Structure 1
Amino acid sequence: MSKPVPGHRATLKEVAKAAGVSVASASYAINGTGSVGEQTREHVLAVAARLGYRPNQNAKAMKTGRTGTIGLVLPDLTNPFFPALAQAVIQAARGHGYSVLLTDTEGEPEAERHAIDLLAGRGVDGLIWFPIADDRSLPPLADNIPAVVLDRALAGYDVIQADYAEGGRLAAEHLLSLGHRRIGVISGPHAASSARARAEAAIDAIRREGQLAWHVHNAFALDLEPAVTVALESNTATAVIAGADLIAIGAVRHLQARGLSVPGDVSVMGFDDIPWAQLNNPPLSTIEMPVEEMAVEAVETLLHRIAHRGEARRRVVFNVALVARGSTGPAVLK
C-alpha cells in the first residue's frame, strides 16, 4: 500500500496510479468536475488523503485564470461588528469552495490603498470591500478586479446595504412610543452615507413628534468626543440615539460614571446589534443589522460578478429590525 513519503509532495499522477484510474478521472474526482461515479470519487479521495495529496493551486490558477481566493477589506477589526461580518463572509465563501484573505485598514486611506494593492498582487479573484468613506475608489492596480461594496453607496460597483434610514426611524419611534420628547442624537462620522442616513431619518422622526435636544458626531468607538460628553452632561435629553452600538455603550458608561441611571434617568439606543450589545449593563436596545444575510449576498454577488463581468450593477438593500432591551424605558417627567 502506498504511503506518504516524508518531504515528497504527492502528484496527481501518483494518486491516479495508486487508485488505479486515469489522471483525468483522478482530477475529476478531486475537483468535483467531469463524469465519474460516486464510488470511484470516494475511492480516489481516500487514496489522495492517504498519500497526503494537496492540489497545486498555482498550477490550477495558471490553467483557469483563478486562484479560488477573494479579498475582504474591512476598516476596523477593533469594532466587534466587523469580526462578526468577517466570520460570516468566510463561512459563506467556504461554502462555495473559496478562501478569504482578510485585511484591516485601521480607518486610514493610505492603509486601505496599500491593502487593496497587496490583495491585487496576490491574484485574488475578487474583492468584498467595506470602504472607509463614500468618496473612495479602487486603486489602479485593482481596477479590473470584480468588487462588491458593503455599506457605502459607491457608484460603479455592486452594493450591499441595509436600510439605514428605516433603522433611524425605528429607533426614534421606539423612544417616542415610550414618551420621550427631548431626544439627543450622536451620529457616526459624517463621511459615511450610512451614518448620515441613520441620523437624518431619526432626526426627522423626532421633530415630527418631539424636540431634537442636540445633534453631535463621534467616531465608531467607545471613546467619546468632547462635544459628545458636553451634550450628555447638559441634561437636556431624556433619551439618546447613537449611530452605532460602540458609541451607545460609551454613552451609557459616561452617564453611569456621572451617577445617572440608564434607563431610569436617560434611555440609550444603539445601532448594529453587535455581540457586546446583550452583554452591556443594562443590555442595549438597538437596531439589528442582518450581518449573515448581507455576507451571503455579498459573496454570491461577487461570484456572480466574477462569472458575468458585463452585467448591470446591482444594489441590494436589506431590512433592519428593532431589538428592545433594558437600556430604554419610559420617560420620567421632571
Structure 2
Amino acid sequence: MTSAGNGASPTIYDVAQAAGVAPSTVSRTFSRPGRVNAQTAERIRQVAAELGYRTNPLARGLPTGRTSLLAIVVADVTNPFFFEIIRGAEKTARDAGYTLLMVDAHESDEAERRALDRTLPLVEGLILATSRLSDSSIRVAAKQRPTVVMNRHMTDVPSVLTDNAQGMRSAVEHLAGLGHTSLAYVAGPEASWADGMRWRAFREATRETDVQARRIGPFAPTLAGGLSAAKSLVKHPATAAVAYNDLIAIGAMRGLRRLGVEVPRDLSIVGFDNIFGSDFCTPPLTTVAAPLRHFGSFAVQRLLAQLRPSPAPAAGPTLLPAKLVERGSTARPA
C-alpha cells in the first residue's frame, strides 16, 4: 500500500480513506489512546505505517500546552559568552526529556519582542539570557509561560545571575594591589541590567580601596565596541581599566595596540566572564570568571521546577560565584 504518489507526505485523510474510517477516528487513535476500539486502532496504525504517515508531535501538543519544548533567548548568538551557557542548558533540558530551542535577539529589544510573539505559543517554558526587554515586558511574558531570567534580578520572576559585586570587587582589589590608583570602567549597553550592577559594584569597590574611578561609554558588548573604547581610554587616561565583558576588553586591547599603547606596560585591562578564547589573545586576558555552563544548567533547573504539577513557590535569585583569573593583561603601573 502506498500514498497517492505525488511526492507529498501522507495526511490523516489518506490514512482515514485507506483504513475506511473517519479522519476524527484516526486523530483519536494517535492523540487519545484507549478512546478507539483496539482492533480498529491496530488497523489504523498498520495502515499509517504502510503509508509512511507520521504524527506531528508539536501540533498534537499545542492544544494541551505539552510540547516538550523550551526556549532560550540570547542577546547575541555570536557572543562566545553564550556558548557554554547554551551547552549547559541544552544538556539539562535533554536529560529531562525536553528539546531546547535557541532564539537570537540581535541585541534588539524590538527583535526580542517579535521573537517572543512567535515562540511563546510553541514552548512550555522560557529562559531570557541577558534580556534587553524592560521589566514590564518580561512580566508580560512570564504571565504567559513559566520564565527564568539570567544575569538580571527581578523580585517576581525566578533568576540566575553571577555575583557581580564579588567579581568586580576581586578585579578592583587585584588592580589596587598592583599599585593602580586610577581606574576606568568601560561600560556596556545602557539597557543591560548587569552593566548597571557592575558599575555600582565598581564604584563601591574603588571607594573601599581609595582608588579614583571614572566611567566611559556605553559601548556595544562586542569587539567593535572595544575598538571604540580604546580611543576613549586614550583621551581619558587611567592606569588600568575593567571592561563590562571580555569582548569589549579584547577589542580595547586591539585598539590600544593600534594607537601605540601597550598592554599591560602602559595600561592594565581586566575583562568579565572568562569566555572561550579569552586566554588566546595577546596578552592573555585577566578576567572575572563566571561558571557559564552551570549558569545554563541552573536556569533550566529553575524552569523545570515551575513546570512540575505542583510547582514550588519561586525562591530568590540563584547567585553563582565569580572569581578572578589572573593572566597577562595586568601588571604593576609603569
Confirm or deny a common fold (TM above 0.5).
yes
Q: How many angstroms apart in 2 are the aligned matches of 1:232 and 1:92?
A: 41
* Letter in structure 1 aligned against 2:275: I
With over 3 angstroms needed to count, the CA separation of the structure-2 counterparts of 1:309 and 1:171, relative to structure 1, is farther
Deviation at 1:196, TM superposition (A): 1.6
The residue that corresponds to 1:127 in the other structure is: 126
Which amino acid in the other structure matches residue 143 of structure 1? K
| Residues 134 and 155 (structure 1), Cα distance of their counterparts in 2 relative to 1, 3 Å cut | farther
Hey, what's the Cα distance between the residues in 2 that align with 1:163 and 1:94? 27
Distance in 2 separating the partners of 1:258 and 1:296: 41
Tell me the SS of whatever aligns to 2:272: coil
CA 1:84–1:320: 2 relative to 1, 3 Å: same
Equivalent position of 1:207 in the other structure: 207
| Paired residue secondary structure (2:73) | strand
| 1:327 aligned counterpart, secondary structure | coil
**1-structure distance, mates of 2:53, 2:179:** 66
Report if the CA contact (8 A) 2:227-2:255 is conserved.
no
2:35 aligns with none
User: Structure 2: which amino acid aligns with 1:320?
Assistant: A
TM-superposed deviation, 1:294: 1.5
Q: Give 1:37's aligned residue.
A: none
* Structure 2, unaligned runs of 5 or more: 1-8, 12-29, 31-51
Q: CA deviation at 1:141?
A: 7.2
Q: Is the 8 A contact 1:244 1:270 kept in 2?
A: yes
1:121-142 Cα offsets, whole Å, 9 max, x none, are: 32x1111112114535248577
Partner of 2:46: none
Distance 1:115 1:133, change over 3 A: closer
Question: Using the alignment, how far apart are the partners of 1:139 and 1:153 within structure 2?
Answer: 12
Check if 1:305 corresponds to 2:306.
yes
Distance 2:141 2:253 in 1: 44
TM-score normalised by length of structure 2:
0.77
SS at match of 2:168: helix
Change (3 A) 1:271 1:309: farther
Paired residue for 2:105?
A: 105
Deviation track 1:27-73 (CA, whole Å, cap 9, x = no partner) reads 9xxxxxxxxxxxxxxxxxxxxxxxx9988524763696411110111
Q: CA 1:269 to 1:136, structure 2 compared with 1: closer, same or farther past 3 Å?
A: farther
Query: In the TM superposition, what is the alpha-carbon distance from 1:290 to its structure 2 partner?
Result: 1.0
When structure 1 is superposed on structure 2, of 148-157 and 272-281 the one drifting more is 148-157
Counterpart of 2:283 in structure 1 is 282
Aligned residue number for residue 329 of structure 2: 327
Shift in alpha-carbon separation, 1:226–1:303, aligned structure 2, 3 A: closer
**Structure 1 length normalisation: TM-score?**
0.77
Are the equivalent residues in 1 in contact too, given 2:185–2:199 (CA < 8 A)? yes
2:153 aligns with 153
**CA separation in 1, counterparts of 2:269 and 2:297?**
31
SS where residue 287 of structure 1 aligns? Answer: strand
Q: How far apart are residue 201 of structure 1 and its match?
A: 1.5
Task: Give the superposition deviation at 1:103.
Answer: 0.6
Identity %: 35
CA distance in 2, matches of 1:63, 1:236: 60
